[in-house]
């Protein structure tokens, strides 16, 4: 029994060494196995902040403001105190103005003056206390200066509409365009020397970059429209009035004609148009100084 004691101790030491080696091997193997990936729901920190939100609530910007949502305003982002939208005026072809830029509705009359129809249009506007914008053809202004004076005397705004209603004018050279517009303005000013000519309207709405550029160089705002009544096609007073009644909204610029053909349908339509429009909108001439 005494000689067996060293053998027992040796066996015990061997057992301890084996256990130690097994423990070391387990620890080493565990360190080589990667951790299982975390689910997105358990992520934290920056990763969590980058996850899509459950709603579309705007996030605060660095300065503390929230990114803006669309508002009930006009195209230029402005709004009147009563909430009426203010459309952006320069959104037409080649940056032309299509609206009044305010809640006002503007009636415009092209191709005059005409000795048969312009006096009738002026009388109806006067009856309803409405001022409008007249786009005047140069050769007509030269032939009827008395009517140009009557337009200005009633407080209406003037618009240059080229010398002889040349639809292709915008395709001419800038020098020729300039000469045409200047000739027209000179004919208008021969009748009303001090009246501003604030706008230019291209015949047929056939805008080009050069004609817009020349008009602006001459201090005139290129004026398009929002509502085309197509009255030049003579659809009848009822159709003209219906087009205006259904198409007009705050800021609209309405295209009508007081010359260039048989415009009795337009004249008759005005008797229906004006009571309706003035009951729903403020109808006024475009400002003689658009700046």
Delimit the domains of the chain by residue range: 102-280
> What pLDDT was estimated at residue 9?
53
The CATH number for 102-280, chosen from 3.20.20.70, 3.20.20.370, 3.40.50.2020, 3.90.1150.10, is 3.20.20.370
Q: Which of 200, 224, 221, 271 is nearest to 106 (CA)?
A: 224
Pairing of strands 227-228, 197-200: unpaired
- Judged against a pLDDT cut of 70, whether residue 227 lies above it is answered with yes
pLDDT of residue 13: 52
Residue 223, SS3?
strand
Identify whether 113 is preceded by a cis peptide bond (ω within 30 of 0).
Answer: yes
Mean pLDDT of the chain: 79
pLDDT higher at 203 or 64: 203
3-state secondary structure of 94: helix
Per-residue pLDDT for 201 more than 70?
Answer: yes
At residue 83, the pLDDT reads: 41
Using the Cα atoms of residue 118, residue 124, residue 129 and residue 132 in order, give the sign of their dihedral. Answer: negative
Question: Is the per-residue pLDDT at 98 higher than 50?
Answer: yes
Instruction: Answer yes or no: 63 catalytic.
Output: no
Candidates 82, 110, 156, 194; catalytic one = 110
- Residue 110 annotated as catalytic: yes
Rounded to two decimals, the pTM is 0.71
Residue that wins the pLDDT comparison between 41 and 93: 93
Q: What is the pLDDT of residue 91?
A: 85
Predicted confidence at residue 88, as pLDDT, reads 58
Confidence (pLDDT) at 72: 25
pLDDT at position 222 is 98
Of the pLDDT bands very low, low, confident and very high (cuts 50, 70, 90), residue 289 is confident
Locate 258 and state its tokens. 């007081």
Reported as a single tens digit per residue, the pLDDT across 23-35 is: 444 444 434 334 4
Apex CA 240: angle with CA 235 and CA 242, to 5°?
125
pLDDT, mean of residues 84-105: 83
Q: Answer for the pair 99, 226: CB distance below 8 angstroms, yes or no.
A: yes
pLDDT, tens digit, 9 for 90 and up, residues 128-150: 999 999 999 999 999 999 999 99
**pLDDT reading at 111 higher than 70:** yes
Q: How confident is the model at residue 89 (pLDDT cuts 50, 70, 90)?
A: confident
CA angle 83, 84, 87 (to 5 degrees): 130
Please state the rounded mean pLDDT for residues 111-121.
98
CA distance 109 to 135: 6
Catalytic residue among 144, 156, 224, 257: 257
């Amino acid at each position: 029994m005494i000689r067996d004691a060293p053998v027992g101790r040796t066996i015990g030491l061997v057992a301890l060494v084996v256990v130690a080696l097994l423990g070391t091997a387990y620890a080493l193997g565990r360190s080589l196995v990667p951790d299982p990936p975390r689910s997105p729901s358990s992520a934290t920190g920056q990763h969590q902040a980058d996850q899509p939100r459950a709603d579309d609530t705007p996030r605060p910007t660095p300065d503390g403001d929230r990114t803006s949502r669309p508002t009930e305003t006009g195209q230029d982002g402005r709004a009147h105190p009563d909430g009426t939208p203010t459309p952006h005026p320069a959104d037409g072809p080649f940056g032309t103005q299509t609206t009044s830029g305010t809640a006002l509705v503007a009636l415009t009359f092209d191709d005059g003056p005409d000795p048969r129809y312009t006096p009738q249009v002026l009388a109806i506007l006067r009856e309803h206390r409405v001022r409008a914008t007249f786009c005047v053809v140069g050769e007509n202004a030269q032939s009827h200066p008395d009517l140009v004076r009557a337009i200005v005397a009633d407080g209406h705004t003037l618009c240059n509409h080229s010398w002889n209603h040349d639809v292709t004018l915008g395709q001419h050279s800038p020098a020729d365009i300039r000469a045409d517009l200047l000739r027209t303005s000179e004919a208008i000013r021969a009748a009303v020397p001090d009246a501003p000519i604030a706008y230019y309207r291209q015949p047929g709405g056939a805008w080009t970059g050069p004609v817009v550029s020349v008009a602006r160089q001459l201090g005139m705002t290129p004026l398009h429209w929002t509502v085309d009544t197509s009255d030049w096609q003579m659809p009848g007073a009822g159709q003209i009035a219906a087009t205006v009644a259904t198409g007009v909204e705050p800021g609209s610029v309405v295209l009508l004609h007081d010359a260039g053909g048989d415009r009795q349908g337009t004249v008759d339509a005005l008797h229906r148009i004006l009571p309706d429009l003035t009951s729903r909108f403020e109808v006024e001439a475009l400002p003689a100084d658009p700046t």
